[in-house]
Structure 1
């Protein structure tokens, strides 16, 4: 796992100052602290910060092909490189390393952009062709690894994190008000946009080619929930799923360093951890988060699973004070506002992994999205059933099974909840039916913003959320899954809560459920194999009953969350919270209505019970103020560069000399 950076002259060759790449790389030292590499010629500079996991002694980048006409820098892992290498050798390719990076390069040499279809992994790739003077950038199918770029004064500037781009002397940050409105509606900025004006994210499943100054962005893979023509028996589906998940888990153990696992106590991570214990011989270290707030704590189930599986288990203990103390550092790594504090405990967890001298962990992300695990899918199913008889008195009572706390509400409150879920109830033909309640609820936060959308929510969603041509032919569950993946999993879950929090502490996350073979298999499944009645992840539960005790595999899904307002407003409230939420600071950023923010702060300080929307508002405003402070106002004060003590490999083709 690594980080990559680059600068390409689009129109004519010109010197790129030698100070630029070391400064860009220094900003992502956390992604790859082991060694650094730089390639220079008159057209392009490429850089890599390496976290050495495979071929520890021989895999330093940049890496070239046999005649040094192709050069690559790479962030990620290719898990099937072991199988691909002999195929390439049979075609005449000669290798100088034992790493997966070189396999990509020879695949590209052999197949061009079609090389991406051979890769099973998580990656951001940059390949420079010296003969064609063309640059090839690519990102993995689901966006596990990030890749950002901008165009500035005749140059394409790219990097694994936005801070590398801002480290270029020609680039400065400005928050995009339209992108901020997306955060306060969809919970995140939707790709290809970012929170910063004119800085873009290469979308998952896409590649970008640059030649003769022209950019060409193309999709090479897409989600397709079209079911198989003929249905099989549940046992047939289970048998294939079992073999796929076992293989996807085991190939993610490939590394020349020890591999650990996150163990949340839920179904997903417990299953993959159990597979490791049953099919691999290596000892296993597992890691989990315990919360001081019992509302969020699942440590009892975590300890039980660790005892059953016999792992060497470590726990990080997270308090409200920890979250507020770490939040500025968390936002430095997310590089975007967030309506949640959930990334902060994940930051603590990856730091525990690093302090335990591990670099790699397997986690359970993806199971909920591709096997129908979230409440939003069950909520959609109940509302569609209710919509067939919208005046029914008993159909909405099914919501009590989904949200048991409704049963404890007063009659007036219960009526309010039913009215809430009845909104747009019969609009079942809308492509956004499953998510419109969530987005409408979050859009209430726009009252805090100075700049708001000029169109209605549905029209806005149609512009921002790309729907595939066959979307309307998919089942309602498939449509809901697709929306969750493209609007939440890829831009938020795998980024702010995933890659960024792990790589902040030089830890690589690996995701068996996001193996593209598992994903494509799950996409083709009939809906009732994923969501059966109101039983989520039915197929995974059938597999897990072979591996886990009943109280784990039968356990109801509990979403991972972390406390918000109680983390920022308590007896030890950090100074930065009140400073950034003060009327003067809010007015200075020019992004929020100072009066509305002041009312929100007073409500939180009063000790009143805050609902979910107010909680999200606090996290959203505070994180945005931190983004403005850290990336717009004071970014230059955090600039650094590589030093003489760093291991740096420089290939300088501007003078045909290797250092």
Structure 2
């Protein structure tokens, strides 16, 4: 796991200096604290610079980058892990390729020699890499299938800049920093800025499952992989779907056990100590259990807890650890929002409003004290129908098929007046939200449930000038378009498919990548092996969702690894008490920062509307915690990435931001 950056240019006036390449590279030092490598060359008008910061995991002695092929015509900088690299080494040696290292990186240059940009089809792993081809004067960029590793670029006249993080690109002099109104609207709607957008105009993200080739001042972007759940998936995916349909439930269980076990086994390849996150949920417990079966020593497992019982899962994590026989580590954390927020915003480098990033960073910091690699259960909810909202989507779908009179009662506007608890996840609040959206289409209903600021609320708080800048853009259209791509027939499966290409890469995987890389920790998720994912999304819905339980086939297949109380427990979110913070320790910050003249003068919002949100929350009238958190993150980001004369190469202190 590493940080990569670089540039290619076709006019010497657009070149970047070796000094600035070094500055770009060292901005990523937290991603790769073990080593640094650079390559810079200028030939006539064509030049290229490649930078690499290394987190040494495999082949500690000889895996330095940038790495070349035998005749120095192909060079790679790589972030990630290729889990099937040993099998690829063996295959490439039979074709005459010579290896100077035992690293997974070296297979990339040799695969490129044989297959060009089609090399990505041979990879099982998580990756973002850049390959410089001297003979063809081209640069290949590639990102893994699910987007576990980030890759950001900026294409200017006669030049392409790229990096694992936008901060690195911003070290180049003269790069403008202007907010993209569309990206801001997307952020306030979904709590993240989805690929390919970026919060800054002129920056874009390579989409998951895509490659891009820069040659002769042209960037050619192509999609190489599509999940089985999405229309247009490749022939291999279609074959998986057909094969799975022909299997009985018992046969599907055996196939799942075989495929997921292999995915775990591949992810145990490491030359440094590794462990696992263990929350006490189904996903992390079964991944840890499969991991324990493969090792001849107790797995090092890690969890964090909180003094507030509603946010504390340690008892379940202990139960799982005792049952599986792991060497368990736990820690109580009391994250301070005032201290955490500037560091969080700097690392995430775009407004990111999922407050669970705070405990995730705490968990990664704690885990890194003992190991360098941790396996996770990420992806299990999206692939195996684990979220409560999927069951709600199924219930809504059934209501839509009721006789007209019954539908009219359930879709009545009278439910708007139903009293409900202020707590975001209370039953009464969820019930009211469900009933008040019953009259919407299934897609609109789901989007309303998961959005932060819905269309009406955004329209209410935006200034007239900012609304004009959006020129009619609606963030909901992005997700509506994703629904049109889904291949499934039932609405629940279609919704999970949308989450796999929206929420999973842009929220969950972004959160884990940034939090882990902040402390030089590599996280690996066996569920996101594309063979596991293809199998999961090819299964009938009733294999995954049965009664009040999602993940049914995981519960049945791996019941011997999961203690009964964990099998029966409800899903618990990984969060922090933001609502409490805003009525206590963060209350002054809301007034001093969010309601400051500096914030209100940006022209995005109507000041009186923001004042009302703050007052309604702090007086206990309404729970606006998620809205206020998003807006506070946005304001701190603006101060750090827009107002500052330059973007810092080091994580900031809070007193320099507020």
What TM-score does the superposition give when structure 2 sets the normalisation length?
0.89
Q: Secondary structure at the match of 1:29?
A: coil
- 2 CA distance for matches of 1:489 and 1:254? 25
- 1 CA distance for matches of 2:226 and 2:595? 45
Compared with structure 1, are the counterparts of its residues 603 and 441 closer, same or farther at alpha carbon in structure 2 (3 Å cutoff)? Answer: closer
Equivalent in 532, 549, 552 of residue 518 of structure 1: 532
Contact 1:589 1:628 (8 Å CA) reproduced: no
Contact 2:298 2:325 (8 Å CA) reproduced: no
- 2 CA distance for matches of 1:623 and 1:14? 34
Q: Secondary structure at the match of 2:321?
A: helix
Equivalent in 108, 115, 135 of residue 111 of structure 1: 115
Instruction: Between 387-396 and 242-251, report the one with greater CA deviation.
Output: 387-396
Q: CA RMSD in A?
A: 2.8
Contact 2:32 2:53 (8 Å CA) reproduced: yes
Equivalent in 143, 152, 158 of residue 154 of structure 1: 158
Q: Deviations over 1:51-98 (max 9, x none)?
A: 001000100001000100000000000000011101000000001111
Compared with structure 1, are the counterparts of its residues 558 and 33 closer, same or farther at alpha carbon in structure 2 (3 Å cutoff)? Answer: same
User: Corresponding residue for 1:649?
Assistant: none
Matches for 1:224-623 after TM superposition, within 5 Å: 224-225=228-229, 227-228=241-242, 230-319=245-334, 322-356=336-370, 358-389=371-402, 391-392=405-406, 416-417=432-433, 419-424=435-440, 427-428=441-442, 434-439=446-451, 442-446=454-458, 447-450=460-463, 451-452=466-467, 453=470, 455=472, 460-463=475-478, 466-467=481-482, 471=486, 474-495=489-510, 497-570=511-584, 572-573=585-586, 577-606=590-619, 608=620, 610-611=622-623, 614-623=624-633
- 1 CA distance for matches of 2:430 and 2:118? 55
Instruction: Between 136-145 and 226-235, report the one with greater CA deviation.
Output: 226-235
User: Corresponding residue for 2:37?
Assistant: 37
Compared with structure 1, are the counterparts of its residues 336 and 407 closer, same or farther at alpha carbon in structure 2 (3 Å cutoff)? Answer: closer
Aligned residues: 621
- 1 CA distance for matches of 2:425 and 2:119? 54
- 1 CA distance for matches of 2:445 and 2:489? 13
Compared with structure 1, are the counterparts of its residues 473 and 500 closer, same or farther at alpha carbon in structure 2 (3 Å cutoff)? Answer: closer
- 2 CA distance for matches of 1:3 and 1:528? 42
Q: Secondary structure at the match of 1:41?
A: strand
Q: CA deviation at 1:466?
A: 4.8
Instruction: Between 445-454 and 162-171, report the one with greater CA deviation.
Output: 445-454
Unaligned runs of 5+ in 1: 642-659
Q: Secondary structure at the match of 1:589?
A: coil
Equivalent in 636, 639, 644 of residue 626 of structure 1: 636
Q: Secondary structure at the match of 1:596?
A: helix
User: Corresponding residue for 2:28?
Assistant: 28
Equivalent in 635, 638, 645 of residue 648 of structure 2: 638
Compared with structure 1, are the counterparts of its residues 37 and 539 closer, same or farther at alpha carbon in structure 2 (3 Å cutoff)? Answer: same
Moved over 6 A (4+): 393-397, 405-410
Q: Secondary structure at the match of 1:19?
A: helix
Equivalent in 176, 182, 193 of residue 186 of structure 2: 182
- 1 CA distance for matches of 2:153 and 2:449? 33
- 1 CA distance for matches of 2:326 and 2:613? 45
Compared with structure 1, are the counterparts of its residues 415 and 536 closer, same or farther at alpha carbon in structure 2 (3 Å cutoff)? Answer: closer
Unaligned runs of 5+ in 2: 230-237, 416-420, 652-658
Contact 1:187 1:442 (8 Å CA) reproduced: no
Q: CA deviation at 1:555?
A: 2.2
Q: Secondary structure at the match of 1:60?
A: coil
What TM-score does the superposition give when structure 1 sets the normalisation length?
0.88
**Structure 2 residue 60 is the aligned partner of structure 1 residue 56:** yes
Contact 1:250 1:280 (8 Å CA) reproduced: no
Matches for 1:5-154 after TM superposition, within 5 Å: 5-11=5-11, 15-42=15-42, 43-154=47-158
Contact 1:291 1:317 (8 Å CA) reproduced: yes
Instruction: Between 264-273 and 574-583, report the one with greater CA deviation.
Output: 574-583
- 2 CA distance for matches of 1:563 and 1:58? 46
Contact 1:191 1:201 (8 Å CA) reproduced: yes
User: Corresponding residue for 1:655?
Assistant: none
Compared with structure 1, are the counterparts of its residues 587 and 350 closer, same or farther at alpha carbon in structure 2 (3 Å cutoff)? Answer: same
Q: CA deviation at 1:346?
A: 0.7
- 1 CA distance for matches of 2:55 and 2:139? 24
